[in-house]
Amino acid sequence: MGKPHPIELRDRVQAEIAGGQSRRAAARRFKVSASFAVKLAARVRRTGSAAPARQGRPPGGGKLAPYLAMLIGWVEAEPDITMPELAAKLWAETGVATHPASLSRVLRQAGFSVKKNASGLRDRARRRA
């Protein structure tokens, strides 16, 4: 996904449109697409702001969100469980298929990290706040 135009450019294009220029003329003057100027004018009319909208999905969703408490319980009960084992256990218990890397990302976001203990084995523990 591309980056939004800078707010300074957005403000200048909007000021030109508010000053009486057409959207297409303002777009030509600032060397942006006519589509950008038209959509910017519509956004300002709708929201009152020229700031870009947030990009991407809203945080906190995903198919693993409803199972997070269950996953955390399994990991705390068996700290040395591997991600493929955890994925297999999730599939057996709930029927939800997921990639081990997705489980690892969810657990890292929940505050878990993989640390090696003195014996060289890995142990999954919560990070300190």
- Token pair of 73, please? 């319980």
- The average pLDDT across 105-124 equals 73
What value does the mean pLDDT take over residues 106-115?
84
Asked if 107 contacts 71 with a C-beta cutoff of 8 angstroms, the reply is: yes
Domain positions in the chain:
7-47, 65-126
Tell me: pLDDT of 121 over 70. no
**pLDDT bucket at 94, cuts 50 / 70 / 90:** very high
Give bridge partners of residue 126 from the DSSP assignment: 112
Q: Copy the structure tokens of residue 4.
A: 């939004």
Q: Tokens for 88, please give them.
A: 């297999």
State which CATH number among 3.40.50, 1.10.10, 2.60.120, 1.10.287 fits the domain covering 65-126.
Answer: 1.10.10
Amino acid making up residue 100: P
Mean pLDDT, rounded, for 92-100 = 94
